[in-house]
Structure 1
């Protein structure tokens, strides 16, 4: 049966377009109930108990409740899913996950295509009324179809929809009433309450709002129509709000319209915006713009004061063109004020779930009733969130997850709801789980569908693999790998063979992951979503299942493995004569650690073939490295640390800076060369759909913090090009060997992150990788741990006509979406790794107060930020006590980047070495921190 529906949609240009969609109605769409006598039940998922049908708003707002196993036997109507997908893709993905989870009873019913539940639009009917009517028709059909033996309940909070459902004889209830009827009080905590119900007089227990508590706290947000007009006229400015992670009352909004960052001071000017929100900002009158000379280091205890303004503590937190000036009253050159503004509207919210704990409070008299409490996020950028719970006593000593529901302009804090308990506060496993959740890292076990894609174990290379015409048999070559100690997921291996003509054959062999991860498979979909493996101090969260990462794909010693190889012929001066790409079979002769490889190269007594190959390869790598540096590649540095972990307790036993050896640089050089060669090959064949990686050139404003620091210590850095900066950094030699590394660390922090992109979305000059001084670059060498490399392997295979190019590469919009997800996942993995280091640093120093040397890296009006080279730690050192405004008896000499006592008896300058004491303290309940104090 053929039907049609007419609907209107808004185009990207803002025009309203009427469309007619033909619909073929079917009679073979089944209800999904096991008790049904008329439908095919082979794929039925619903049992004989009450069947629930939720309307759109319940799905959108109560997803945390729906994910609880107590809510089951649910019919998901296609009309509802379509509306959810249009309004919130994140919620839609969570609902689809429920529908595919074999342990849950969620059944998708295509009501729009069923002959008995299809609803034709009526003239003048609003989309909302149409959807509600379609939901009621489907609910009534289920009720009639299954009969009285299987109750069907429509869950809706829409009064009009509920009234009409009752009139039509449909059993219906509100979500609140239904959850109460289940007799499980803990489920009530999961409910999102309507905004009109968000205020509660019981909040007097936790909010000292005095008699004016119902007065307006924040300005009303402008409607989108007014915001759009204001943006068009230049009255408002759009951008992403970034909250200073060391000061929740100071934020920055990057604005392309004024070419600068707008500073937002204080909660009132932030106007209920959250970190990551896309906001509309109105500039304040210029006489209200702020100077930044009085910025100070944040104090944990200052967070209750709405009027404190604290210092940026990292490149991510500081405005790009910040110029701090002296705090002295005698200064003669006033600092230009920075653009300051206030948020007038939220264009796109960035709300999600947050990890933290409840603020300690006295237990109220009586039990079993709702109690209001304040949730304090582990992330200092997030304001306290008010929740209502029946489980206060059980939650006070727990790390919990809370989601934000609303923020009324008459409330000091946003309202939210409890989601679940993570574990005991202070427990290492709990705090590690918090790190993963806060950074949106999927650490769930791989599903049965994903694991079903793996070949059975034990697996070995077959005779068909060896004789396959697309593969080169390289098992006779002396192939070896060099990795961190204990590495099990070995992506890459190398070989270096001296040729009779005096040249060398050098090969980079990469695990052939795409031989096992096929496009569109559940395994591929999972890897695409995860994007990357995540490395914490004590564990690794794999992008792919362990049978692949540690066995089938891992290029372990003395076993045959499938590889994708890049093979060059090089002269003794590392000039590339020719390049080949081929699938291959290899057999590694050794899996060396960096320390082992370095020891072999350094031991003049060793002359065996493997050591000779290592030395030859290292000699080539040194030439290649110098050639890159001569082209302008930067040799930067990071504060990467390593821990020695107790194998039984998993507690840290020791901590220190990660040591880079020649062996590390040797491997890095050939990985870079392989990535560059592959980038050129795939781009030549697929100039519009290649996945590449670019590193944008930093602006002078971004480098300003580095230039100010360098000038203060007498260095003149040339940042006109990467070559000029590299040469300047080479000349930056101080009185001690660590000085140059410290300058390079500071330079690294001024850079933007490299990002993945689709080649068809940018012009070739924008492909440039600034840090590597490479006109074109990609990632090919780590497919076990990065999905970007999986994509590039498929592109390379297609360029060699080994495999067909998957259909996804024909859709640049989808490719751009994949690149965006990869960038998001890569950044989150980095943030999770850093947070894991911070957590284990706290654990390590909790029982080990330590005195050590530190270097001053930033000056503030009430102290300075130091970097501790021995442990790779950065933190604030205070010179004033809490409550002193500005720097008290100290003032900042901005040109010299130093803080001076008023009587000139003490001076602390940037990059100066100081002695500090480090110990773990807890200035606020459940918020331990590493405190650094001068000795």
Structure 2
């Protein structure tokens, strides 16, 4: 025992204390929890000038700052309390905060209370190379630790801990000439510190206000949202229920949980999917109750008498900005009468219930938000709305993303920020304010600057795009990497369940087929006749997991990014280029590691046998789709590679026929591709993407590989296999396309996927071939997004992929650009004995967490890609006017939606009221005089760039044929969301 005590003291431990806490279980029992805590005397304070602590570890703080603040004439270290971090965390990004010490108690308190503040604190301290921040382990320091007390709140204890730390450091640093300074969120807390003898306590506003640097104004602007709310005491919204009330309501079925999703056509309307069957509750106007797009909310179904239906009306804040005057904005920001809400600026609909206005629409389940379970706020990019009041401090910020409400901020830099893209954060949503209150964070760049707009695009879609860190680069193999031949065996030596081997397939006529310019080549194929008369078809996928191992910094980075993002002018890789474009890429005539799926098939595409194994390949050619098609079509080419391609092409047609016979859907979207000038990174033309057989050839074999692998990993890991499903759409979601088809004389059947596919095939118009494509586009919009999920978390019958008409599916064929495929490769490798399975993949909750992140990143990458196209459409039409063909995609009570296939643009033409104009949104037509236009009709429009509003340039459409007088223009509304594969 004596030896043990001596060892403990030599290790720096000076005391051991035991704390006891009591808590009530759900069953009502009182349980006791005891915990040991060891207090130490060897914990460094963080100051470089402290000789006593230097021996305990590397110190960070010490940049001299005796001349930066008029309140404090000596060098000092700032210790901010929890309320400062939670409320004003953005100010710590400023270099004006040079020495910041974070006590362990504050760190843990902030982590528990505010995820956004904690992420910022952790990022500033550990994720950026900076000596401005240090953490002091006060909860284990024998002279600072404050034990918990009964009847004392956690916030009161934190105040005591902060005072204890401040007093200790004041004494500890006495010889150095440095002093600790405590920053408080409120004056009352500051006064309590001073009353207890700690004079170096200030409010954060006092400290910032007395900084000598002119940049202090930016910090004051960031803090301004907490200085005021609205100018009225009238409460607009209901109070949110407490967490306990929400959880109890969800448990009893009174409330439902879901993600709040605002309509992109009408910002006063939103939906929440409330169950696994994708049933949706509709929410409108004041029933938003301060929910912001993306929040996880609790909703309560309203009585049937209060159910309503979506307006058939386009309501976009961007349209309103064109007609809202600066004076009206000033009036609204300063008004005392909240009842005087204008039609142009209303973010809350307090008028009569829509059910009274909508005689023809059928009411649908309608709900209200009763509480917020989780805020998903993030920094938002956008612009300030101009103000006519000179010197005004209160301004409205307009986010770039149209589903986010305007945010009220206070700043004295409005004139400087007026022509800039800026970032704003929401701080709170008071019950007495029509707008969330927020603060200015930073400026991105000048309006219209291409680099600025690209940065906004990435920030708005939350795309990680920083250069790969040194830690990630250190994980890479050398440029001159060569395959290891020690475990490579010949094909005829391979047998099922052989472990740790790689099959030599270098002699096979394997080739890749990809778009022009593709450098991250994930997949390659081959097909050859076997001696017994069957066909051997193989899909060979880059063996990324050989290089990216669990626990590596590169793996952690790939988890975070989850996908490669493809923009018009660049590609943001999930993995460093040395892997994505070189060592993993299956380039022609280079030896590469692969993971192969090989089928033995009849000539009718019936699978006899499937085998999976790691392999070593040497692709005989890296072909484009067009070149592969030329080889197939050129009957003069009879070499083995040409014959392999022809066999693959023939087999793919049989595979596709089987899929479509089972009900697989063929849908459409408006995606286009620009031909880029790579020197200027600007678009110079649109590439017309003609579908050719080789597109289907590659697609069919990739689908087959994904299905085969899904079956294998599910059989081995039924409780944690990573799969991908596409839920069956709710019947009500088909309403728009059913109505559009009916108006053209077509009957769409939604009884099953096959019935829908067959009825779409029948909906053809010889006089207007685009009708079928438009109906398929509308059908695509009725679909829900395909999702990754962990097996075992939902009923097996819900595993199916509706769009592909397969009961089970996953992603295996693109590990260079999708992390989901990396996970699946690891599962498959373990199932065949080729590798050990990481322990984390055997945990269903871990796989579920991975799935949530991958679903989010995949969706954001899709949105970013489409936004990049639209940004390039704007650039392309600068100084250009064209007359183009368009089609009516929808009729609303205040306008028509027109789709321009050539440029993938869908825009709204708002129709001004006129005695001669009849707009029938229910029946889908507009009649002006003797002219009538219907949904899906072909029209001719003039397309050009409208830069009247320099802050928001937009694509403008003018209807040319047929001519209808009195049409005005709004901008791009391209919102279709494909189901994804």
Q: Could you tell me the TM-score, scaled by structure 1's length? A: 0.89
Which 10-residue stretch deviates more, 246-255 or 654-663? 246-255
String of CA shifts for 1:214-273, please: whole Å, max 9, x gaps: 35262352442666677788877665432222333333445569996554444x454433
- Give the whole-Å Cα distance in 2 for the aligned partners of 1:351 and 1:69: 25
Tell me what 2:227 maps to.
197
Q: Does 1:382 align with 2:404?
A: yes
Match of 1:699 among 713, 719, 730: 730
Match of 2:156 among 106, 123, 129: 129
Question: When the two structures are aligned, how many residues end up with a matched partner?
Answer: 894
Q: Does 1:404 align with 2:423?
A: no
Contact 1:325 1:335 in 2 (8 A): no
Contact 2:488 2:501 in 1 (8 A): no
Tell me what 1:891 maps to.
919
Structure with more relative contact order (C-alpha pairs < 8 Å, separation 6 or more): 1
| Superposition pairs of residues 408-447 of structure 1, within 5 angstroms | 408-447=430-469
String of CA shifts for 1:259-303, please: whole Å, max 9, x gaps: 96554444x454433222344556777776656566356584435
- Give the whole-Å Cα distance in 2 for the aligned partners of 1:484 and 1:630: 28
- Give the whole-Å Cα distance in 2 for the aligned partners of 1:229 and 1:914: 55
| Superposition pairs of residues 850-869 of structure 1, within 5 angstroms | 850-869=882-901
Match of 1:649 among 665, 680, 684: 680
- Give the whole-Å Cα distance in 1 for the aligned partners of 2:708 and 2:309: 50
Q: Does 1:560 align with 2:585?
A: no
Match of 1:372 among 394, 414, 423: 394
Tell me what 2:668 maps to.
637
Match of 1:144 among 171, 178, 183: 171
Match of 1:32 among 25, 36, 46: 46
Which 10-residue stretch deviates more, 777-786 or 727-736? 727-736
Contact 2:88 2:223 in 1 (8 A): no
Tell me what 2:205 maps to.
176
- Give the whole-Å Cα distance in 1 for the aligned partners of 2:22 and 2:538: 58
Q: Kindly state the Cα deviation for residue 11 of structure 1 after the two structures are TM-superposed.
A: 7.0
Tell me what 1:204 maps to.
none
Q: Kindly state the Cα deviation for residue 683 of structure 1 after the two structures are TM-superposed.
A: 1.2
Contact 2:595 2:615 in 1 (8 A): yes
Q: Does 1:475 align with 2:506?
A: yes
- Corresponding residue SS for 1:97: helix
Q: 1:102 to 1:716 in 2, by over 3 A?
A: closer
Match of 2:834 among 802, 818, 841: 802
Q: Kindly state the Cα deviation for residue 36 of structure 1 after the two structures are TM-superposed.
A: 2.9
Tell me what 2:122 maps to.
96
5+ residue gaps, structure 1: 201-212, 311-322, 328-332
Which 10-residue stretch deviates more, 65-74 or 580-589? 65-74
Q: Does 1:2 align with 2:21?
A: no
Match of 1:273 among 277, 291, 297: 291
Q: Does 1:489 align with 2:520?
A: yes
Contact 1:558 1:590 in 2 (8 A): yes
- Corresponding residue SS for 2:46: coil
Match of 1:241 among 248, 252, 260: 260
Q: 1:363 to 1:8 in 2, by over 3 A?
A: farther
- Give the whole-Å Cα distance in 2 for the aligned partners of 1:683 and 1:690: 6
Contact 1:479 1:588 in 2 (8 A): yes
Tell me what 2:975 maps to.
none
| Superposition pairs of residues 313-712 of structure 1, within 5 angstroms | 334-338=360-364, 343=369, 345-361=371-387, 364=390, 371-464=393-486, 466=488, 469-712=500-743
Q: Kindly state the Cα deviation for residue 170 of structure 1 after the two structures are TM-superposed.
A: 6.8
Tell me what 1:205 maps to.
none
Q: 1:934 to 1:449 in 2, by over 3 A?
A: same
Tell me what 2:941 maps to.
916
- Give the whole-Å Cα distance in 2 for the aligned partners of 1:787 and 1:475: 27
Q: Does 1:111 align with 2:138?
A: yes
Q: 1:564 to 1:95 in 2, by over 3 A?
A: farther
String of CA shifts for 1:52-89, please: whole Å, max 9, x gaps: 32222222222222233443433333322222222233
Q: 1:772 to 1:539 in 2, by over 3 A?
A: same
Q: Does 1:20 align with 2:34?
A: yes
- Give the whole-Å Cα distance in 1 for the aligned partners of 2:823 and 2:512: 23
- Give the whole-Å Cα distance in 1 for the aligned partners of 2:615 and 2:96: 51
Contact 2:261 2:272 in 1 (8 A): yes
- Corresponding residue SS for 2:902: coil
- Give the whole-Å Cα distance in 2 for the aligned partners of 1:291 and 1:562: 56
String of CA shifts for 1:499-542, please: whole Å, max 9, x gaps: 22222222211111111212122211111111111111111111
Q: Does 1:927 align with 2:957?
A: no
Which 10-residue stretch deviates more, 151-160 or 525-534? 151-160
Q: Kindly state the Cα deviation for residue 817 of structure 1 after the two structures are TM-superposed.
A: 1.3
String of CA shifts for 1:549-573, please: whole Å, max 9, x gaps: 1112111122222211112222222
- Give the whole-Å Cα distance in 1 for the aligned partners of 2:281 and 2:310: 12
Tell me what 1:295 maps to.
313
Which 10-residue stretch deviates more, 909-918 or 239-248? 239-248
C-alpha RMSD of matched pairs (Å): 3.2
Which 10-residue stretch deviates more, 220-229 or 99-108? 220-229
- Give the whole-Å Cα distance in 2 for the aligned partners of 1:231 and 1:623: 49
| Superposition pairs of residues 247-258 of structure 1, within 5 angstroms | 247-254=266-273
Q: 1:260 to 1:916 in 2, by over 3 A?
A: same
String of CA shifts for 1:812-843, please: whole Å, max 9, x gaps: 22221111111111111111111111111111
- Give the whole-Å Cα distance in 2 for the aligned partners of 1:907 and 1:325: 28
- Give the whole-Å Cα distance in 2 for the aligned partners of 1:36 and 1:814: 43
Tell me what 1:319 maps to.
none
- Corresponding residue SS for 1:52: strand
- Corresponding residue SS for 2:478: coil
Q: Does 1:784 align with 2:826?
A: no
Q: Kindly state the Cα deviation for residue 46 of structure 1 after the two structures are TM-superposed.
A: 2.5
